[in-house]
Structure 1
Amino acid sequence: MPLHPEIATIVANLPAPPEGPIDPAFLRADEESHVAAPADRLPLHAVDDAVAAAPSGDVPVRIYTPAEADSYGVIVYFHGGAFFLGSLDTHDHVARALAKETGCRVISVGYRLAPEHRFPAGLTDCYGVVRWVSEHGRDLNRDGTTLAVAGDSSGGTFAAAVAAMAHDDGFTAITHQVLYYPSLDLDFDEDRYASLRENATGYGLETAGLKPFNAFYLDSGADPADPLVSPIKREDLSGLPAALVITAEYDPLRDEGELYGRRLTEAGVEARISRYAGANHGFVANFGWIPEYHAAFTETRAFLAPVTAGATGAGQR
C-alpha cells in the first residue's frame, strides 16, 4: 500500500534540514520543545523518576506503573535518536503507551549520549540498568516472569546488543527482546540492503542522512564491524531471547531488521517479524496515535503474554 495519507501529509511538510554541520544541541532543544505538557500525557497509576545504581555509575530512569497490582512483568526500554538524540522526556509517550497496553512496569533508561560520551558509555548504561532491575526485582514488585528489553531505532540497536551481552555473560534473566524498526547494521553502504535504495528519499528518514546522523556515535569509538555496534554481524545468534522485530514498509532500515529476524529463527530463536504496511521509520514514536500503528503496542502485549510468548512466525500489517 502507499504511505499512509496522514503520514504522507506530515512528511511532505517537513522543513528542510538546516545547512552546515549537524548541531546536536540545536536538535536536542528542538526535540524537547515538542514534548507534551505533563497534564496532556497519557495518565497511568504512577510515573516516578529514580536513579539506577549501575556498575557504570548512577543512571537516571523513569518507572511507569500502569495500574495498581501485586506484581508486574518488567520492560526495560531504550529510546531512539541516532545515539545522540532523545531523552526520558522525548520518548515519555512511548513508554506510557507501552506500559498501558502491556500491563508491564516499564523502566525507561536515560543513558549517556554521543558525542559527549564515548562508546560504549550508553550501551553500558543500558546493560547496567537491566542488571539493576534483575537485582532489585523485589523492590520493583517484579513478578519473576517477564523481563524484556525493548527499543526503537537506535534504542533497538541497544536492546539487541544488551540481549547478546547478557547471553555472553551467562545472565539468563532476559526473557524477550522487542525491536521497533531497529538499526542493526551501521555499515550504511546502500548496496547492502534493497530497502536502503527503495526507501532512500521521501519517507522522512533518508538513506543519505544515515551516515551524518550516526557519525557522532561512530566517531566516538563505535566500530560498525563490532557486533555490539551492528548486532546483525554477530555470527552465532543461538540462545538469545525470543524476539519481536517490528519493521516499517517505507523505512531504509526495513531489510536489515527483517534479515535479523530470519537469522534468529534459523539459529533456533523464537522470533516474529511484523512489517507494518504504509508506515515509515519512527512510526511507533511519531504516529502511534493512528489506530493501525498503535497496534504495535498491542502486538507487543500479545508477544509478551505467557500464553503466546513461544509463538513463532511472520506477520504483515
Structure 2
Amino acid sequence: MTSLLPTYVNLAGLSHGAELNPQSAELLRQTASLTAAVPAEELTVARRRRLMHEAQALLVGTELKPLVSSVDELIHLPGRSLPARLYTPDHIGSDVLVLYFHGGGWVIGDLDTHHASLQFLAQHLGMKLLSVQYRKAPEHVFPAACDDAEAVLAWAHARLASWGCKRLAVSGDSAGGHLAAVAMHTHAAIPLAGALLFYPVTDMQFANRSYTERGAGAGLTRDGMVWFWGQFLNPQQPPSLLRANEDHRIVPMRQVWLQRPPNTVIAAAWHDPLYDEAVSYAQLLSAAGAQVIMQSAPDMAHGYLRQSIAVPAARVHVLAAVHAFLALI
C-alpha cells in the first residue's frame, strides 16, 4: 500500500524519444496498407470497422497463449444493454475488478479487437477484468459513450461481490482511456483502487508539440484523430471546437477535482500525437493530489497495447505499466 502523498514519476525524462521499434513499425505499415487499398469513397465507418478486425490477425501472433478464461455477458442499463466480456486468470492475486473501456476512436473498436491484449493484461495483472462495449459513434454521438461509461462504473461498483471482488479499478486505451477518465471524475465519490490508462485522449489541442512533430507518422495521425473527434461529437452538426473544448466530459483536461483522484498509471507512446496530452493529464491528476506514475514508451507509436502479443518490445512496455499499477494499488 502506498502513502497518501502525491507523486509524479519520471517527468524529467519524458521529453525524449527513440527510433520507432522496427517490428512495431512493420506491423503499423501492414495495417496502414489495408486501409490504403480501399478507395476513399468506400472507406465508410462500417468498412473501417471491418479493417480493424482484419488488422487484428496481424497482431495476435502465435506465442504467449494466456492462461485466462473469458465469458460474454450483457450489462442491462435503462434503455439499452451493453455487451461485455469477463476475463478470469487462472491465478488471481488481487481482490480488484478492472473495468476496461476499449479504444478505437469511439467509432471502430469492440470486444474482439482487444480480446488478445486483454487476455494478456488480465493474466499479468492477476485480476478479473470486465471489458465493456459502449455505444459507438456516429450512430450514437456524444454523450452516449460517456453516459455508458459512467453508468457502467456505478453498476459495477454496486455488484463487486458478485464477482468475488472487493475493490474496483478503471482502465482503457485511447478513446477508452478518455471514457475511463470521464467516468472516474464523474463518480469521484466512488472509491477506486486505481486507474491504468494507455495513451488516453484527454485534450483537443491539434497544434501542440506532439501533434505538430509526430502527427503524420506511423499509427494514429492528426487527420485521423480529427476525423474521430468529428464522428464522436456529431458528423451532421459538429459543435464549434471552442465550445467542445470547454466541456470536461469531452476534454478531461478541463476536469476540476474536488476530491483526490485515484492513484493512476498513464502509459504513453512517444511516436503518438496524443503524447503531450497524456503528460498534461498526468500533471493535472498529480496537482489534484493523486499518486501518478507516467510511463513513457520512447520506441512505440499509438496502439502498442494491442501489439503486446506479437511485438516483444511492446510487451516490455505493457508489463512495465502493469508492474507500476500493481505498485500503486
Q: What is the TM-score of this pair, normalised by structure 1?
A: 0.86
1:69 positional shift? 5.2
Match of 2:226 in 1: 211
1:149 positional shift? 0.6
Q: Which residue identity lines up with residue 148 of structure 1 in the other structure?
A: A
Write out per-residue CA displacement over residues 179-230 of structure 1, whole angstroms, 9 at most, x where no aligned residue: 1011111x2432xx21111102222211122212321101167833211111
Match of 1:315 in 2: none
Partner SS for 1:256: helix
1:162 positional shift? 0.6
Q: Please show how residues 64-75 of structure 1 align to structure 2 within 5 Å.
A: 64-67=87-90, 72-75=95-98
1:258 positional shift? 0.4
Q: 1:227 aligns with which of 223, 240, 248?
A: 248
For the structure 1 residues 45 and 93, does the alpha-carbon distance in structure 2 shift closer, same or farther, using more than 3 Å as the test? closer
Partner SS for 2:226: helix
Contact 2:95/2:127 (8 A) holds in 1: yes
1:246 positional shift? 0.7
Contact 2:103/2:109 (8 A) holds in 1: yes
Write out per-residue CA displacement over residues 242-280 of structure 1, whole angstroms, 9 at most, x where no aligned residue: 111111111111001001111221221110111101100
1:23 positional shift? 1.0
Q: Please show how residues 1-317 of structure 1 align to structure 2 within 5 Å.
A: 1-13=18-30, 14-15=32-33, 16=36, 18-20=39-41, 22-35=43-56, 42-55=65-78, 57-67=80-90, 72-142=95-165, 144-145=166-167, 147-167=168-188, 170-172=189-191, 174-185=192-203, 187-190=204-207, 193-219=208-234, 223-236=244-257, 238-305=259-326, 308-309=327-328
For the structure 1 residues 279 and 70, does the alpha-carbon distance in structure 2 shift closer, same or farther, using more than 3 Å as the test? closer
Aligned length: 300
1:159 positional shift? 0.8
Contact 1:56/1:125 (8 A) holds in 2: no
User: RMSD over aligned Cα, in angstroms?
Assistant: 2.6
For the structure 1 residues 45 and 180, does the alpha-carbon distance in structure 2 shift closer, same or farther, using more than 3 Å as the test? closer
In structure 2, distance between residues paired with 1:70 and 1:273 = 24
Write out per-residue CA displacement over residues 117-136 of structure 1, whole angstroms, 9 at most, x where no aligned residue: 13222222222222222222
Contact 2:220/2:273 (8 A) holds in 1: yes
Contact 2:196/2:264 (8 A) holds in 1: yes
* Structure 1: gaps (5+ residues): 311-317
In structure 1, distance between residues paired with 2:54 and 2:213 = 32
Contact 1:84/1:216 (8 A) holds in 2: yes
Partner SS for 1:65: strand
Partner SS for 1:119: coil
In structure 2, distance between residues paired with 1:153 and 1:70 = 27
In structure 2, distance between residues paired with 1:266 and 1:258 = 12
Contact 1:97/1:297 (8 A) holds in 2: no
For the structure 1 residues 56 and 297, does the alpha-carbon distance in structure 2 shift closer, same or farther, using more than 3 Å as the test? farther
Match of 1:314 in 2: none
In structure 2, distance between residues paired with 1:226 and 1:68 = 41
Q: Which residue identity lines up with residue 113 of structure 2 in the other structure?
A: T
Partner SS for 1:268: coil
- The higher-RCO structure (CA 8 Å, 6+ apart) is 2
Structure having the higher helix fraction is 2
In structure 2, distance between residues paired with 1:165 and 1:10 = 37
Identity of aligned residues (%): 28
For the structure 1 residues 235 and 33, does the alpha-carbon distance in structure 2 shift closer, same or farther, using more than 3 Å as the test? same
In structure 1, distance between residues paired with 2:294 and 2:120 = 21
For the structure 1 residues 44 and 210, does the alpha-carbon distance in structure 2 shift closer, same or farther, using more than 3 Å as the test? same
In structure 2, distance between residues paired with 1:157 and 1:99 = 20
Q: What is the TM-score of this pair, normalised by structure 2?
A: 0.83
1:283 positional shift? 1.0
1:171 positional shift? 2.3
Write out per-residue CA displacement over residues 30-78 of structure 1, whole angstroms, 9 at most, x where no aligned residue: 223344599x793434210111223453221100000165974211110
